[in-house]
Amino acid sequence: MMGWGYGFGGFGMFFMLFFWIGIIALVFWFISRAMAGPSNQAAGNGGGSVSAQESPLDILRRRYANGEISKEEFDAMQRELTGR
């Protein structure tokens, strides 16, 4: 009568092992999706901060407005982008 309490014997043990591995994997998957945030999932850009609709000239203007580049750098880059 030994072994009746273990379900399907060895198969039951492996089934339970795979079952719990699957449950743990699903929990990690849900947590990783929740941590990524809805904006990154919707944009599909891997977490980048630049939108797909922002042109190179818009980026240049934003960088100049934020003080990341000087007026001379802005003018030189603008001439290069516009071809003037």
Convert the pLDDT of each residue in 27-43 to its tens digit: 999 998 888 766 554 44
Judge if 25 and 57 occupy the same domain. Answer: no
Number of domains in the chain: 2
Read off the tokens for 70: 């000087």
For the chain, which residues score pLDDT lower than 50? 1, 41-47
Domain of residue 28 covers 1-38
Judge if 32 and 4 occupy the same domain. Answer: yes
State residue 27's pLDDT score.
95
- For the CA atoms of 37, 38, 43, 49, the dihedral, rounded to the nearest 10 degrees, stands at -40
Residue 47 lies in a domain: no
State residue 83's pLDDT score.
83
State residue 49's pLDDT score.
58
State residue 1's pLDDT score.
47
Cα separation, 43 vs 5, in Å, equals: 51
Residue 63 lies in a domain: yes
Cα separation, 36 vs 58, in Å, equals: 27
